[in-house]
Structure 1
Amino acid sequence: MAYRILFLFLSVLIFRIGNTQNSQPNVLLIYVDDLGYGDLGSYGASKIKTPNLDKLAADGLRFTNAHSSSATCTPSRYALMTGNYPWRVKGTGVLPGDAALIVPTNKTSLASQFKSAGYATGIVGKWHLGLGEAVAKNWNQPIKPGPNEVGFDYSFIFPATADRVPTVFLENQTVLAGNAADPIQVDYQNKVGTDPTGKEHPELLKMLSSPEHGHENTIVNGIGRIGYMSGGKAARWTDEEMPLTFLEKAKAFITQHQREPFFLTYALTEPHVPRMPSTMFKGKSGLGYRGDAILQLDWAVGEILKELDQLGLSKNTLVIFSSDNGPVLDDGYQDGAVTQLNGHKPAGILRGGKYSIFEAGTRVPMIISWPGKVQPGVSDALVCQIDFLASFSSLLKKELPKNSATDSENMLEAFLGKSKTGRQVLIEHAGSLSIVEGNWKYIEPSERSAYDPKTDTELGNAKDPQLYDLSKDPSERNNLANQYPDKVKALAEKLLQIKNK
């Protein structure tokens, strides 16, 4: 009996050692949706508890000046995947659910770079970068190109956002639980089929939409969506089970590839609308469904980290956590985000939010953890998600082809905490553009609206130049453009130079 126990112990020990001694680290990118700079306890939130992410921050490197490339989702995800500023390319704005793929299949992507280095690559969760070669597509047949054609060996996604049709999962190129006898149709211009809409039948809604946001089309799971769909009744997910499905698929990918290096993008949908958290989280935050969704997000992160630990992979896994843009409260549904805010400040001390050229649009939480490799602490280095491609290429010792990822810079030393120096210059994007150099931020003049009443967001646009000293005024309250005209001129010229690069 004693020999059996000893044999079992040694077998487990050898298994765990084997799993932690790969020369190449696993990389887990946890990418969330619309999470603000002030939404986590580790970033100053006091009205909501995020213990799992706070522990990740305590054990890793927490960045105070990390950015998405843009203040909305599709362009940020495009930049992350391609290493190119999205404002250089037409058609990279927020996509409808039937959009064609916008990531080039003939250029290096973040996923393809890992794949070429021998990694198993996967994405689970939100995609929102288009599918197929055209808007018109047959949802009842395999759809390509998509994630598999830009470097992911495995994908389990929904096409766009949870508030846009079609509300289905795609595993690799195929709609899960599709049925040829109940074909799926999608249209963003005209109603298809006989499904009720939120506009016609508000009495069928379990969550009312906010006026003028567009969430009044086909009702799925008691929630009005953007766009029309028919068919695919068995394939439609429910909001409450969708995040749990993503979690299980992410865990399964890790388990399947535990004996080889893997790169997994785990793209959670929280706290993007519609916020309809699983029952065990409803009402738990005291901040409405948005707060409950953040609790769910934190729990899911804890579960995926627990999976790494149970498989003996934690020490050899580099974990990156970040958000695609800043926060928004009322983004289309009456879910208590506004009425039950309870003093919570999703953007922290920053001004603006999602859609805004002010800092809260793109300055987001970023935490990087790699036990024994990244020392716990706080970094003030200026970094951006657009730099992941060049930086991880350096980690993998893989050169980037010429004319690929031309806006991505190698910030590996900063990401790993070995250098306090980040980017010298960063372009921020929210329709209009701004440039950050050192402590100075210049926002170019714009005729765009200064304020969005639908989302109650200061968009940061103004007809006159804006200049802020972020070291003294991170909330961007004191416009210094008139006091420093030479600095305005220099930054405007540099912005134009980068635009024309």
Structure 2
Amino acid sequence: MLGTTAAQAAKAADSADRLPNIILILSDDIGYADLHSYGHPYAKTPSLDALAAQGTRFTQHYVTGVTCGPSRAGLMGGLFPARISQSVARLGFSGQTTITDLLAERGYTNGHFGKWNLGPSATQVDGTYGIHRVKEIPGIKAGEHGRDDDLFDAAIDFIRENAERPFYVNIWGRSTHRQVRAPQRLIDEFSDLKVDREQFAAPMQKNFDRCLRFGCDLDATMRTYLADVYSLDLNVGRLLAVLDELGLAEHSIVVYSSDNGPAPVEGNKYGEWPTSNTLGYAGVLRGGKHDYYEGGVRVPFIIRWPGHVPAGRVSDDVTSFIDWMPTLAAITGMEALPQPLDGEDVSDIWRGESRERSKPLFWRVNRNASLAAMREGRWKLHYHTRRNRPPRLYDLEADPGETENLAEQHPEVVEAMGVRLQAWVDSLPDNYVRPPRESEQ
């Protein structure tokens, strides 16, 4: 309820049988290396860096899709998006159980604020998928802290109202989706910034070159982009302060991540420079949004859960949002889960263990005869399952930037992985429902 005091909230949170609150902060198109703690030379992200220092930062966490809609569908539903015979972003889940359905049954009060991407407007109502409050907020007008102010405000109000019971909250922001924008006062925080291209890894140089070909000012574009990232960080700081105020920080799982890699530089198509462009950074990783390369599917992932997740740890274990449902189910004591599920319980890895994952990761768009990709152990295979194109095999431990194709040197790996990848592709729907054409952003 509104007006819950810190003492009341702390008393409720200290209950021995209280389930942990769960907060997922998901950015839109932020790249793997767009945070200071992930290696950006100029980014200002003190709140997210502090969250990483208080929890664990993962270096090999993956999304389930290469664009916004499929990525979120895999996270919420526990299936690789290509296994779903329709576009969830346009048509919804159509009866598939979601993690919020399960948590509602477990006694959680669930909220969703910001970007939706889980069905048409008719599904954006309270009660959809077990979400008690659904509030899609476009994030068009920048507020004091940035364009995600309104959705963080709504999420904070929801947390205050439900501080005495376990809650789950999706906070799905718009930063840094095109068009990139930020309040001038935040852009001014970077007024002295001059881009030194030598401070960026090789894949970023193509983005710089493309930006210049379109006539942009690199310094101004970078300032605006980083101001948008900084605005997200300011809102995260506001949220974390409220958890402290209410005495909920010790009893809350807070996760920060992104839905896919950085968007491509697309020129002056959507407005005037610099707001029409993006300069997201994936470090040494090749590619970005729309790509199966690491820059498109590997994203920052930070989790804080005091007393359960080690503080100050950096984990190189391979995890994915396909694991979101089974992992939260294990943490909250659920036993009956929908089948099949493509992910695995990685709560042991969250808690500090280190191990190989037991299930491979797969990516493919929901279109037949298209490229598919697979990660298993150290190996990443890009494979045209129905076209006569040579496969590409990369050793991600030695070459995370996927610069050297080792398919000819390791035909036995290509053969073994190819068989498993083809079997997975053969299990996918023969046909996909095609709604009216519309960009799945």
**TM-score normalised by length of structure 1:** 0.71
CA distance in 1, matches of 2:123, 2:78: 22
After TM superposition, give the deviation of residue 13 of structure 1 in Å.
5.2
CA distance in 2, matches of 1:283, 1:30: 26
1:336 equivalent in structure 2: 274
- Pick from 271, 293, 296 the counterpart of residue 228 of structure 2: 293
User: Do residues 399 (structure 1) and 335 (structure 2) align?
Assistant: yes
Of 491-500 and 30-39, more deviation after overlay is shown by: 491-500
Tell me, yes or no, if the aligned pair for 2:67 and 2:289 is still in contact at 8 Å.
Answer: yes
1:284 equivalent in structure 2: 189
2:130 equivalent in structure 1: 151
Matches within 5 A, 1:302-451: 302-331=237-266, 332-333=269-270, 334-336=272-274, 346-376=281-311, 377-403=313-339, 406-429=341-364, 432-445=371-384
- Using a 3 Å threshold, how does the CA distance of structure 1 residues 75 and 156 change in structure 2: closer, same or farther? same
2:218 equivalent in structure 1: none
- Pick from 401, 411, 418 the counterpart of residue 492 of structure 1: 418
CA distance in 2, matches of 1:282, 1:329: 21
After TM superposition, give the deviation of residue 429 of structure 1 in Å.
3.7
Question: What are the superposed Cα offsets for residues 382-416 of structure 1, whole Å, 9 maximum, x if unpaired?
Answer: 11101111111111211344435x21222221233
1:238 equivalent in structure 2: 141
SS of aligned partner of 1:397: coil
1:58 equivalent in structure 2: 53
After TM superposition, give the deviation of residue 368 of structure 1 in Å.
0.8
Question: What are the superposed Cα offsets for residues 63-96 of structure 1, whole Å, 9 maximum, x if unpaired?
Answer: 1110001111000000011101111224328x5x
Tell me, yes or no, if the aligned pair for 1:130 and 1:146 is still in contact at 8 Å.
Answer: no
Extract unaligned runs of 5+ from structure 2.
194-221, 428-441
Of 409-418 and 16-25, more deviation after overlay is shown by: 16-25
CA distance in 1, matches of 2:126, 2:26: 16
Q: Report the residue type matching 1:261 in the other structure.
A: P
1:169 equivalent in structure 2: none
1:471 equivalent in structure 2: 397
1:112 equivalent in structure 2: 101
- Using a 3 Å threshold, how does the CA distance of structure 1 residues 40 and 118 change in structure 2: closer, same or farther? same
Is the radius of gyration larger for structure 1 or structure 2?
A: 1
Question: What are the superposed Cα offsets for residues 312-346 of structure 1, whole Å, 9 maximum, x if unpaired?
Answer: 100000111111000125355454379896xxx71
After TM superposition, give the deviation of residue 309 of structure 1 in Å.
0.6
CA distance in 2, matches of 1:393, 1:268: 25
Tell me, yes or no, if the aligned pair for 1:445 and 1:466 is still in contact at 8 Å.
Answer: no
User: Do residues 103 (structure 1) and 93 (structure 2) align?
Assistant: yes
Q: Report the residue type matching 1:336 in the other structure.
A: P
CA distance in 2, matches of 1:339, 1:275: 7
Tell me, yes or no, if the aligned pair for 2:261 and 2:299 is still in contact at 8 Å.
Answer: yes
After TM superposition, give the deviation of residue 113 of structure 1 in Å.
1.1
CA distance in 1, matches of 2:6, 2:378: 52
2:117 equivalent in structure 1: 128
Tell me, yes or no, if the aligned pair for 1:441 and 1:469 is still in contact at 8 Å.
Answer: yes
CA distance in 2, matches of 1:146, 1:495: 38
SS of aligned partner of 1:382: strand
- Aligned residue pairs, count: 382
After TM superposition, give the deviation of residue 147 of structure 1 in Å.
6.3
Q: Report the residue type matching 2:274 in the other structure.
A: G
Question: What are the superposed Cα offsets for residues 82-140 of structure 1, whole Å, 9 maximum, x if unpaired?
Answer: 101111224328x5xxx33x223x332011111111011000110112225xxxxxxxx
After TM superposition, give the deviation of residue 274 of structure 1 in Å.
1.5
1:79 equivalent in structure 2: 74
Select the structure that is richer in helix.
2
- Pick from 6, 16, 38 the counterpart of residue 10 of structure 2: 16
SS of aligned partner of 1:322: strand
After TM superposition, give the deviation of residue 447 of structure 1 in Å.
9.3
Q: Percent identity?
A: 31
SS of aligned partner of 2:422: helix
CA distance in 2, matches of 1:419, 1:309: 30
CA distance in 1, matches of 2:275, 2:294: 21
- Using a 3 Å threshold, how does the CA distance of structure 1 residues 36 and 374 change in structure 2: closer, same or farther? same
CA distance in 2, matches of 1:279, 1:270: 15
1:261 equivalent in structure 2: 166
After TM superposition, give the deviation of residue 499 of structure 1 in Å.
2.6
CA distance in 1, matches of 2:338, 2:65: 24
Tell me, yes or no, if the aligned pair for 1:330 and 1:337 is still in contact at 8 Å.
Answer: no
SS of aligned partner of 1:130: coil
CA RMSD of aligned residues (A): 2.6
CA distance in 1, matches of 2:184, 2:330: 43
Q: Report the residue type matching 1:245 in the other structure.
A: D
2:432 equivalent in structure 1: none
1:91 equivalent in structure 2: 86
SS of aligned partner of 2:265: coil
**TM-score normalised by length of structure 2:** 0.80
- Using a 3 Å threshold, how does the CA distance of structure 1 residues 279 and 296 change in structure 2: closer, same or farther? same
Extract unaligned runs of 5+ from structure 1.
1-10, 133-142, 163-236, 449-461
CA distance in 2, matches of 1:110, 1:307: 25
- Using a 3 Å threshold, how does the CA distance of structure 1 residues 340 and 413 change in structure 2: closer, same or farther? closer
